[in-house]
């Protein structure tokens, strides 16, 4: 009896020990119940599902600090099976694997990985460095450049009832239009939509094949339960969608249709991205 009680105390202590998160102020909400959670309560819930997606705003430094903390805190609760990144492509996977097998990390890690300049290494580097020292794999989840060009030139047929729903395609087309400041020619929109959805399909396939518990870091629209990777997981025959935590800036709206949990972070000063786009397009 004393042994059982001692075990219970040990397990309770383990459950209560979660490293303090970065000093990022903002509410965490369970979108299904409306309950406001502490970081420790969030980790307790996220440690249960076998597949988890964390949606981010790519240029928000708070989001990347929280991702690293979540990865470490979840690892304190149970062994991590794998981490997948939207920011890595299949042609980088062999480089990742070679570095994991080496005894030390190379001095020029982004160079060794052929890290793509479109992803700010100052934001992603700490996550990548940490994971490369862990026993679980770091996996590419995106399409490579040649695949993107092929999809763009000749969009393939996308199988699946949910991912082909008009509401899904309309929402993604609106997002693509907004993200390009309304400057894309209408003729390019179907190809851009095909690339977006083929990226979602690839991420879903990789998530399903990855060692569990698996964790995917991806942009917000890729992560969304109503239009992104989760509906592709269901279209691929899984009975249950991955759990989704959305990292979002205060002032944005994340609903229970989009995610299971949301962590609101302080809004960052907005850059005039569209002004740069108009200059690039000569408009």
The yes-or-no verdict on residue 14 having pLDDT over 50 is no
State the Cα–Cα distance between residues 14 and 22, nearest whole angstrom: 20
User: 54 versus 179: which is more confidently predicted?
Assistant: 54
The yes-or-no verdict on residue 3 having pLDDT over 50 is no
User: pTM of the prediction?
Assistant: 0.90
Closest C-alpha to 62, from 30, 23, 27: 23
The yes-or-no verdict on residue 12 having pLDDT over 50 is no
- What are the start-end ranges of the E strands in 66-213? 82-85, 138-140
Contact 47, 77 (CB under 8 A): yes
The yes-or-no verdict on residue 2 having pLDDT over 70 is no
13 — pLDDT class (breaks 50, 70, 90): very low
For the chain, what percentages of helix, strand and coil (3-state, to nearest 5) are there?
A: 50, 15, 40
In this prediction, residues 193-199 reach a mean pLDDT of: 98
Domain ranges of the chain: 21-281
**CATH 3.40.50.11550 is right for the domain spanning 21-281:** yes
State the Cα–Cα distance between residues 222 and 254, nearest whole angstrom: 14
In whole angstroms, how far apart are CA 218 and each of 14, 54, 154, 167, 184?
29, 6, 25, 22, 23
């Amino acid at each position: 009896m004393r042994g059982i009680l001692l075990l219970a105390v040990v397990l309770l202590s383990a459950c209560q020990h979660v490293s303090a998160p970065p000093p990022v102020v903002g509410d965490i909400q369970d979108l299904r119940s409306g309950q406001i959670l502490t970081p420790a309560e969030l980790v307790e819930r996220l440690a249960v599902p076998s597949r988890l997606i964390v949606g981010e705003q790519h240029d928000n430094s708070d989001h990347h600090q929280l991702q690293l903390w979540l990865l470490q805190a979840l690892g304190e609760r149970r062994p991590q099976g794998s981490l997948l990144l939207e920011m890595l492509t299949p042609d980088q996977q062999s480089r990742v694997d070679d570095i994991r097998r080496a005894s030390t990390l190379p001095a020029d890690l982004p160079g060794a990985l052929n890290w793509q300049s479109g992803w700010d290494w100052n934001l992603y580097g700490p996550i990548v460095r940490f994971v490369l020292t862990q026993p679980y794999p770091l996996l590419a989840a995106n399409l490579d450049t040649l695949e993107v060009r092929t999809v763009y030139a000749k969009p393939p047929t996308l199988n699946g009832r949910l991912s082909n729903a008009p509401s899904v395609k309309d929402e993604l087309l609106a997002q693509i239009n907004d993200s390009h400041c309304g400057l894309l020619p209408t003729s390019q929109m179907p190809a851009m939509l095909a690339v977006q959805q083929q990226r979602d399909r690839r991420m879903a396939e990789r998530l399903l094949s990855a060692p569990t518990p698996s964790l995917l870091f991806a942009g917000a629209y890729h992560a969304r339960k109503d239009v992104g990777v989760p509906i592709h997981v269901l279209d691929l025959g899984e009975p249950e969608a991955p759990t989704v935590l959305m990292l979002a800036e205060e002032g944005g709206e994340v609903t229970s249709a989009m995610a299971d949990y949301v962590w609101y972070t302080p809004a960052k000063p907005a850059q005039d991205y569209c002004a740069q786009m108009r200059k690039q397009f000569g408009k």
